[in-house]
Amino acid sequence: MTVLKHHLRDAVLAILGCVFVLAALGLIWGARVTIPRHLYVSELGAEGMPTRHVFMASLLCLVAGGALIGWAGRRVRAEVPVLRWWTPAVSLWTASALFLFASQVTCTAGCPVPVGDAFTWQDLLHILAAVIAFFFACWAMLQASFARRHRAIAVTSAICAWAVGAIAGLGGILSLARFGVDFGSWCEFVATTIAICWVVMFGLALAVEHLRDARRPFAP
């Protein structure tokens, strides 16, 4: 019964985590459609923006969802060197902690890249936290894509990891180069959306696995 309870608990936590993450996605896009110009995701939370508090709430939902789903998937592990040094759950928890920081230390008006005359410690800390958090989320995807004992998770993770890496990389290069900024901003939103959807798919796959394992003691 103890094993059954553990699997049922983790399935519930995974589903609850998915609810939080979907709420984060809805808040981000709900805020985005109210702004009639091109901008990067972090600028939604910049000082003076009408979407500031919605953006902060979306990151907090993402933090809660990522933490819960990470717990439900704490036993998932990659089966190749380097990627198996720690689990995808640890990567998700690290990303969640950094997003928590980014939710409280938002960027300044305009959310400038902190170089030259535009440098501020606030922008630097926010962008570093957000970028490193996104890296760990992508690393979790890559790790999960090599979790061969969890086929559904591995396949969806591989597709999302490649898509996010390519799209986010293009958007980041355009942002740093200050070229094609409008297109680059949409790249960032698309990559962010795919990454968040992956967290939901990861959580749902975990919930299904836990529910399946919970039934095994009663299987004929």
Burial class (CB in 10 A: 0-12, 13-18, 19+), 141: buried
Residues 6+ apart with CB under 8 A from 201: 156, 160
Helix extents (H) in the chain: 2-32, 52-72, 88-104, 121-145, 151-177, 181-215
Dihedral angle, C-alpha 199, 51, 134, 146, nearest 10 °: 10
Question: CA–CA separation, 84 vs 71, rounded Å?
Answer: 17
pLDDT tens digits, one per residue of 141-159: 999 989 877 778 888 888 8
Instruction: Report residue 55 as tokens.
Output: 């953006």
Number of folded domains that form the chain: 1
What is the structure's pLDDT at 175? 62
- Other beta carbons less than 10 A from residue 166's beta carbon: 12
What is the structure's pLDDT at 219? 45
Would you write out the chain's pLDDT as a tens digit for each of its 220 residues?
A: 476 777 788 889 999 999 999 999 999 999 999 988 878 888 898 888 999 999 999 999 999 999 999 999 998 888 888 888 999 999 999 999 999 999 999 888 877 776 667 678 888 999 899 889 989 999 999 999 898 777 788 888 888 888 888 887 776 666 665 655 677 778 888 889 999 999 999 999 999 888 887 776 554 4
- Other beta carbons less than 10 A from residue 57's beta carbon: 17
Question: CA–CA separation, 60 vs 57, rounded Å?
Answer: 5
What is the structure's pLDDT at 50? 92
- Other beta carbons less than 10 A from residue 200's beta carbon: 20
Domain that holds residue 200: 2-218
- Alpha carbons within 13 angstroms on the beta-carbon side of residue 36 total 0
Summary mean pLDDT of the chain: 86
Q: How far is CA 140 from CA 27, 70, 76, in A?
A: 23, 10, 10
Question: CA–CA separation, 66 vs 84, rounded Å?
Answer: 19
Tokens 């910049």 map to which residue? 46
pLDDT tens digits, one per residue of 113-145: 766 676 788 889 998 998 899 899 999 999 998
What is the structure's pLDDT at 220? 43
Question: CA–CA separation, 206 vs 46, rounded Å?
Answer: 35
Please say whether the beta carbons of 57 and 7 come within 8 A.
no
Please say whether the beta carbons of 13 and 216 come within 8 A.
no
Task: Record the pTM.
Answer: 0.88
